[in-house]
Amino acid sequence: MIMKNPTKIIKNRIVKINKLTEEYQKNINNSRLIADNTSLLKQKLKLNEDYFFIESYGGKALSISILNIIRGIVARNSRANIFVSNINYFDFESLLSENELKKITFIKKNSLPYLRALVMSKTIITDYYLPTYFQSVATQKVINTGEAFIGFWINDISQTEKIIQHTLLHTTHFLFDSVMPETVLRRLKVGGIKEYYYKFYSEESIKFDDKEQEETLLLIPRDSKFKSITILDDFIDQNMKNEQFYIMVHPEDEKIYQQSNFYKHIRILDSVNEGILRAATKVYSESELLLERSIFKNASKVKIDSFGMEISLEEKIVSDKISIFNGGWNKTAVDKKNIVVYAGGFANNGVTASAINLSHNIDYKKYNFIFLDKLTYDADSSLNLKKVNQNANIIYRSGQMNLEVYERIIASQVQGGKGISEVLRKKDAEKIFYRESCRIMGNINLDAAVDFSGYVVFWTAVIAFSKANKKSIFQHNDLKAETEKIINGVYKHKDKLPRVFQLYKYYDEIISVGKKTLELNRENLKKYAPRDKFKYIPNSLNLDEISQKSNNLGNLSMVEEEKHYALCIDESSNIVQKIRIPNPKEYTLINIGRMSPEKDQKKLINAFHRALPDLPQIYLYL
């Protein structure tokens, strides 16, 4: 065995430390921000009961709910210290009294005072999302009013909503305007998986004596068809031009509408324009949730559907004046077990197909089935994700790991180089990836966690060191053979997979998807885990889908040039489609899989060749 030069190893380590130090000093990729935040988290500073951290619209505007909460805090807590991050001081100065402003300390977002306020405030209040490095600490109360995002998206879940999801997973209290939290959580793919407190509020807490002229409003969601200026202007010409009207948009979207003929009518949905909102007598929107805000209680509400037609909405009962102090919180309970699963990113491969099938074989009356995954997808992955059972949840990983400078070395050792065997203090690696699992999944209970992929060391480590009661990792192939696989002259998994293997000992079960695969892996990888941890469970099939497709073939068939076809008739168009089917008098086997070494189609072809003289009626389709 050739020993590496220890002097060279030390020199390389010094070079790496110097590079990380330089990145920290220059805050490259927010490394100083992340390191400082992590350092504060690790200090476990005592929470101050009188500290309130407040951020509205991500620090870009001031919502009505946040404005009223600030007033309530000042009125109820004489010792309160309110830390506010916002780039628009004028809004606060124009809407709050001198006495209320005295209670507020304005802090710059992502500054050290900002980080300290996040980790030391007993109560954190937002209406939108917090930075992705945020991790709630034990006994901290995190309140979200949802005003900056509820109803602002009406189509598929957006990238911003995926980031909002991170904050909701760390939220302990939902204070929403007449909307059940589960309605919001289900849209964001995390319904029913966490315990929380909630109550409703009404925006009827402030009355204006100088009520402005009555007007008509158009509330525009962030994924609205009205982002096409032509469509927006045409709608206004046809429906609102002869009225006193305003176009209400999200603060982050105001600039989008600068080219509209009606740009002078654009206003943002915030506390500065509260008088305009209250004066509305008629309100249009594509978003039912925006229309249902209690501030429009006395207005007629018209929902615009995808064809531009108008649907009037019935009035809904609104709740009490907004307050975080007067009790009345309801508590939810999770009555199902949570199973979190990493399935490899939903690329086009066998693991994805198996994961999709598995999602259709879960008893959703007993279990919450939760995928862990990345934030962004390509076209193929997006299409695969749509095949997942709609009852499944998805937690999206946004942001980066919370790491101090020296911890970045440990994280890179686990994910690169020789893996966790290279880490001198294994407990440090465990803490790092435990912290990351908590950052990603928030304060949900984990009854079981599964690395269904078994190929990505980051996710293997996150699940291995999570707080899950039971941890399992899957093996979909002969993994020793995988380490020897060469593609385009390069070993694809020779270095990567051994890093995964080293983490097997932290799992309760190592599961192969076939008996033969089990035998190979149990023998070839026996140095990584005890023999009794290796088990096998065959991949599941989506039998309902297979049955449905079979039934869709119908009962009509034909033979043409010795080939058999099923005839499918589209009754609406009377079009007949021919679909090739096997000859019922022959024995047909179909192999579906990539042409790759681990699928070993060569062995299958050779076996058929040997059997053909004795069984001439067998046919193999690849």
For residue 507, which of 533, 483, 487, 485 has the smallest C-alpha distance? 533
In terms of DSSP bridges, do strands 300-304 and 310-312 run parallel, antiparallel, or are they unpaired? antiparallel
Q: Which residue has 């009626």 as its token pair? A: 617
**Whole-angstrom distance, CA of residue 365 vs CA of residue 212:** 52
**What is the b/e burial string over 204-228, where b = at least 16 CB atoms within 10 angstroms of the residue's CB?**
bbbeeeeeeeebbbbbbbbbbbbee
**Per-residue pLDDT, 192:** 96
Count of all residues that appear for the chain in the document: 622
From first CA to last CA, the distance across the chain in angstroms is 45
Contact 294, 204 (CB under 8 A): yes
Tens digit of pLDDT for each residue in 506-539?
999 999 998 989 999 999 999 999 999 999 998 8
Tokens of 54: 């407040």
Coil, helix or strand at residue 434: helix
**Sequence-ordered list of residues with C-beta below 8 angstroms from that of 441, at least 6 positions apart, any chain:** 169, 340, 372, 395, 466
Tens digit of pLDDT for each residue in 454-480?
999 999 999 999 999 999 999 999 999
Whether the pLDDT of residue 207 is over 50: the answer is no
**Per-residue pLDDT, 1:** 42
Q: What confidence category does residue 491 fall into, taking pLDDT thresholds of 50, 70 and 90?
A: confident
For residue 166, which of 218, 128, 109 has the smallest C-alpha distance? 128
**Per-residue pLDDT, 191:** 95
Contact 72, 320 (CB under 8 A): no
CB atoms within 10 A of CB 160: 18
Angle at Cα 513 formed by Cα 512 and Cα 518, nearest 5°?
40
Q: What confidence category does residue 451 fall into, taking pLDDT thresholds of 50, 70 and 90?
A: very high
User: Can you give 210-243 as a three-state secondary structure string?
Assistant: CCCCCEEEEECCCCCHHHCHHHHHHHHHHHCCCC
Count of CA atoms in the C-beta half-sphere (13 A) of 23: 16
Angle at Cα 396 formed by Cα 391 and Cα 399, nearest 5°?
170
Instruction: Set out the domains of the chain in order of their start, with CATH numbers.
Output: 45-201 (3.40.50.11820), 215-312 (3.40.50), 338-536 (3.40.50), 553-582 (no CATH), 583-621 (no CATH)
**Whole-angstrom distance, CA of residue 339 vs CA of residue 372:** 10
Q: Which long-range contacts (CB under 8 A, 24 or more apart) does 254-257 make?
A: 256/227, 257/229, 257/232
Whether the pLDDT of residue 205 is over 60: the answer is no
Whether the pLDDT of residue 210 is over 60: the answer is no
Residue 567, exposed/middle/buried by CB under 10 A (0-12, 13-18, 19+)?
A: middle
Residue 540, exposed/middle/buried by CB under 10 A (0-12, 13-18, 19+)?
A: middle
DSSP state of 307: T
Mean pLDDT, the chain, as a whole number? 90
Coil, helix or strand at residue 147: coil
Tens digit of pLDDT for each residue in 362-371?
999 999 999 9
Whether the pLDDT of residue 12 is over 90: the answer is no
Q: What confidence category does residue 206 fall into, taking pLDDT thresholds of 50, 70 and 90?
A: very low
Whether the pLDDT of residue 584 is over 60: the answer is yes
For residue 256, which of 231, 292, 274, 275 has the smallest C-alpha distance? 231
- One-letter identity of residue 157: I
Q: Please state the rounded mean pLDDT for residues 228-236.
A: 96
Tens digit of pLDDT for each residue in 423-442?
989 999 999 999 999 999 99
Q: What is the pTM of this model?
A: 0.89
Whether the pLDDT of residue 417 is over 90: the answer is no
Strand order in the sheet with 534-536: 393-396, 367-373, 337-342, 448-451, 471-475, 509-512, 534-536
Tokens of 569: 């008739």
Whether the pLDDT of residue 204 is over 80: the answer is no
Q: What confidence category does residue 319 fall into, taking pLDDT thresholds of 50, 70 and 90?
A: low
For residue 316, which of 205, 127, 149, 179 has the smallest C-alpha distance? 179
CA R_g for the chain:
29
Contact 24, 35 (CB under 8 A): yes
Coil, helix or strand at residue 427: helix
Q: Please state the rounded mean pLDDT for residues 372-399.
A: 96
| Percent of the chain with pLDDT strictly greater than 90 | 70
Distances (CA, A) of 273 to 205, 217, 378: 15, 12, 40
